[in-house]
Amino acid sequence: MRVRYFASTDTLFIELRDAEVVETRGLDDDTLLDVDAQGDICAITIEHASTRAGAPGFSYERVGA
């Protein structure tokens, strides 16, 4: 998984897995889902991320199994 924040466009890009994207689906005017041929989510793009998702502040925690 990779998370990238583009300050110049206030865009948050969350790549869940590296796969061929066959379709981009809009959830609303500012949220896009990239999906593969099976319809599984590959990535999420969030526009206006500083107000909608709290970016660029980010916290990560790995929880053991």
**Domain extents in the chain:** 2-50
**What's the predicted TM-score (pTM) here?**
0.85
Which residue, among 44, 16, 40, has the nearest Cα to 31 in the 3D structure?
44
pLDDT in tens, 41-61: 999 999 999 998 888 777 777
The two structure tokens encoding residue 49: 């991320």
Query: Rounded mean pLDDT of 15-25?
Result: 96
- Given this model, what pLDDT does residue 57 score? 79
Interacting residues of 2 by C-beta distance below 8 A, sequence separation 6+: 14, 15
Contact indicator for 5, 15 with CB cutoff of 8 Å: no
